Chain A
Amino acid sequence: EDKVVQSPLSLVVHEGDTVTLNCSYEVTNFRSLLWYKQEKKAPTFLFMLTSSGIEKKSGRLSSILDKKELFSILNITATQTGDSAVYLCAVEARSQGAQKLVFGQGTRLTINP
């Protein structure tokens, strides 16, 4: 059974800290790994990773994938209160001839001022 596990499930830090969120996976026919940020509504897309070792960066956020060890990390530097959200990791897998996303449980990140 395809599985995506995120850790920690919950994290509380102070503004300005750097955080690292983890995502490990076990899926058949891996195609890509995606990170999303979810505030009050639906998830918004952050990164899509397909190749090992290539860091993707967007402002204070960065992410990297290790396909040998089957995990990814999402880093946020100089955190701000607006970074408070649930961060979801999802893996695109091919199952029964169809592509679909398998989501992790999410990491609830709280940034205190």
Chain B
Amino acid sequence: GAVVSQHPSRVICKSGTSVKIECRSLDFQATTMFWYRQFPKQSLMLMATSNEGSKATYEQGVEKDKFLINHASLTLSTLTVTSAHPEDSSFYICSAWGRAGEQYFGPGTRLTVT
């Protein structure tokens, strides 16, 4: 199946700083990638759809100025959490469509804001 990687797998940052998370499709090109957030013992919540070469589409209630998404190439999307606060601490997961129409997920990034 398709492989999606994320970096870093875990990050701890101080309140007020910004953190960048990378999502790469390793053996295929992904014109569209998705960013999800998952709080403990809850399901995945779609934050935004990242489109190569154009602006991301954000879900209702997600602040686009706080969660900056850049999809500069067919294999890389980045999510930057700006001015992070403790309530932004969560598990962030990206995904991309595989060749057969299924969606493959990256391993996730656990963000802790102190």
Question: Which A residues form the contact surface with B (CB < 8 A)?
Answer: 31-32, 34, 36, 41-45, 48, 88, 90, 92, 96, 98-106, 108
* B105 x A42 contact (CB < 8 A): yes
CB within 8 Å for A101 and B93 given contacts A42-B105, A43-B44, A48-B102: no
Q: List 18 A-B contacts (CB under 8 A).
A: A32-B101, A34-B103, A36-B105, A42-B105, A44-B105, A45-B102, A45-B103, A48-B101, A48-B102, A88-B43, A100-B34, A100-B49, A101-B46, A101-B95, A101-B103, A103-B44, A103-B46, A105-B43
For the A-B complex with A92-B103, A98-B49, A106-B43 known, give 18 more contacts whose Cβ atoms are closer than 8 Å.
Answer: A31-B101, A32-B101, A34-B102, A36-B105, A42-B106, A45-B1, A45-B98, A45-B102, A45-B103, A45-B105, A48-B101, A88-B44, A100-B49, A101-B103, A103-B43, A103-B46, A105-B42, A108-B41
Contacts of B98 in A (CB 8 A): 45
A-B contact count (CB 8 A): 54
